[in-house]
Amino acid sequence: TEKIIAGMPWARHIDITGALDITDYYRTDTHWRQEMLLPVANKIAKAMGVTVQQEGEYTKEQVERPFYGVYYGHAALPMDPEPLYLMRSELLDACSVLYYDSATNSWQPHSQVYNMDKLDGNDLYELYLSGNQPLLRIENPNAATDKELIIFRDSFGSSLAPLLVKDYAKVTLVDLRLVDYKSLNQFLTFKGQDVLFLYNTQVLNSNLSQ
């Protein structure tokens, strides 16, 4: 953490470790559980001067299939699957998700915040914003402000980003593992947006070692 903070003197570090414990993660997977992330979303939002929806504004919806995480296959031992929940709200249901089409140099319709087509896939975690995608944008027609947020993220950001939408008209997600940072100016303009870097420790440690 100290190395990252030192290397980004222009950024503000938001320490979310106190908002998380072991129960906020799946037993069978590396990822965190969306239904446990409101304290994290609140801490990030407070640091950025915005608000998020609170627990009473969501309906916790369990998906019909059980979740078998990455550890389930690696364990080679009997393990119970886990439930996977979506945090639903009227605000999120009204949002649309777009992807960047390099062929037309434009943002095109993609899906809803929760892509229920992924129920038929191998990884239920892809229900959150369709899983790993190079470039996505959430558009919120009922945003409390006209502010925009850019999130540089990995797969952990897929479940957290929807919880940060409330005050933002647009939330753009960029996965630098899947898109060349040198081409960012083709589809992003940095003019007054909030910017959040959100990576899990495996990604950070891998990049720091290179």
What are the pLDDT digits (tens) for 4-53? 778 788 888 999 999 999 999 999 899 999 999 999 999 999 999 999 99
Beta-bridge partners for 99: 108, 136
Beta-bridge partners for 60: 87
- The full DSSP string for 88-123 is E-HHHHH-EEEEEETTTTEEEEEE-SB-GGGGGSS-
Q: CA 9, CA 156: separation in Å to the nearest integer?
A: 24
Q: CA 200, CA 154: separation in Å to the nearest integer?
A: 7
Name the more confident of 184 and 112: 112
Residue 153 has pLDDT above 70, yes or no: yes
Tokens of 133: 């995608």
Residue 174 has pLDDT above 90, yes or no: yes
Residue 210 has pLDDT above 80, yes or no: no
Residue 129 has pLDDT above 80, yes or no: yes
Confidence tier at 70 by pLDDT (50, 70, 90): confident
Q: How many C-beta neighbours within 10 Å does residue 169 have?
A: 17
Tokens of 5: 């903070």
Q: Which residues contact 157 (CB under 8 A, 6 or more apart)?
A: 151, 173, 198
Tokens of 25: 């993660």
**Average pLDDT for the chain:** 90
Q: CA 39, CA 145: separation in Å to the nearest integer?
A: 22
pTM: 0.90
